[in-house]
Copies of this chain bind each other. A is one copy, B any other.
Amino acid sequence: MISFITSNKGKYVEARAIIDGLEQKDLGYTEIQADTLEEVAVYGINEIMARLKEPAMLEDAGLFIEALGGFPGVYSAYVQKTIGNEGILRLMDGISNRKAFFKSVVVYSEPGLEPRMFQGIVEGQIGHEARGSSGFGYDPIFYVGEKSLAEMELAEKNRISHRAASMRALDEWLEGR
């Protein structure tokens, strides 16, 4: 059994479809201010492992927009909660470079094992308008090809999503050892 440390039921459901033997644990952990998702994730898992003497994983993700110097990046959740998609569209108004990527970092550890990191990335574009109603967060303004992530069926999104990719990478590593 692996404890997935998250308060987000949706993330857990997504992960469980890929990795066997997961269990959600809403333990809470310190998220630090840092330049990278990796630093946030490793700090978090080390704190968790000091309390929990069993296999555990957690995940952190963000949206990185090239023309905005990587904003909102590590602080994507906070930015979504405050200025939201409308704010991002305003910031991108008149900017022709719309390149962006979503990145997910999963970190896994167990007693006696240094944390192992796995990542998934999906490249796309910031659209000129929000479209679609599935998914959540930045999905309606993040386009891969002609469609926003919020216009995709869950199965289609899961084929390309950054989170599915990082979870699959962890799953392969778990299966392979």
Contact = CB atoms under 8 A, between A and B. Distances in A.
A82 interface: yes
A90 interface: yes
Query: Could you tell me the dominant secondary structure of chain A's interface residues?
Result: mixed
A156 interface: no
Interface stretch (A27-35, A97-105, A128-136): A27-35
Interface string A85-128: 00100110100000000000000000000000000000000000
Interface stretch (A5-13, A15-23, A69-77, A158-166): A69-77
Question: Which of A82, A91, A93 has the largest count of B CB atoms less than 10 A from its CB?
Answer: A82
Q: How many copies does the complex hold?
A: 2
Nearest to A79: B71
A78 B75 contact: yes
Contacts of A74: 78
A71 to B, nearest CB: 4
Interface in A40-98: 40, 43, 68-75, 78-79, 81-83, 87, 90-91, 93
Contacts of A30: 30, 32, 43
Contacts of A43: 30
A32 B31 CA distance: 6
Contacts of A78: 33, 71, 73-75
21 contacts: A30-B30, A30-B43, A31-B33, A32-B32, A33-B40, A33-B78, A68-B82, A68-B83, A69-B81, A69-B82, A70-B82, A71-B78, A71-B79, A71-B82, A72-B82, A73-B82, A75-B75, A75-B78, A83-B91, A87-B91, A90-B91
